[in-house]
Structure 1
Amino acid sequence: MPIIVNLDVAMAKKKMSLTELSEKVGVSMTNLSLLKKGKVKGVRFNTLEAICQALDCKPGDILDYEEP
């Protein structure tokens, strides 16, 4: 999969746990965990926006592209 999810890196930089991020974003811990592991087919823009607000980052800090 050429899209790399760096949510764990962004969370570590802000020293934020999955539980805390889940509470701030309003997304279940299960769904955030799946996103963190790269096990999702997509992410809604409003979810991405909420994650970026909570972590004070940009989408490019969370998502990256790797040549296949």
Structure 2
Amino acid sequence: MPQIETARLLLRPYTPQDLDVLAPILSNPAVMRYSPRRSIPKDQVKEVIDVVYYSLARSEWRSDDSLYIL
């Protein structure tokens, strides 16, 4: 799946290297309140990333906030 990049934003598929950033987000019930997935225990986040990255052919996107210009 290609990346989408502009001057201020990079959208790319999730990768296994995103685990440390995603674990606190995906395990937080307040953040995941309206998600169809609900919160995911921290110890299961790696499995979710593996499914997204490998099984779903990189079909999900994330933004890379290191490119934000505020």
Q: Could you tell me the TM-score, scaled by structure 1's length?
A: 0.33
Of the two, which has the highest radius of gyration? 2
Q: Could you tell me the TM-score, scaled by structure 2's length?
A: 0.33
Which one has more relative contact order, counting CA pairs under 8 Å at least 6 apart?
1
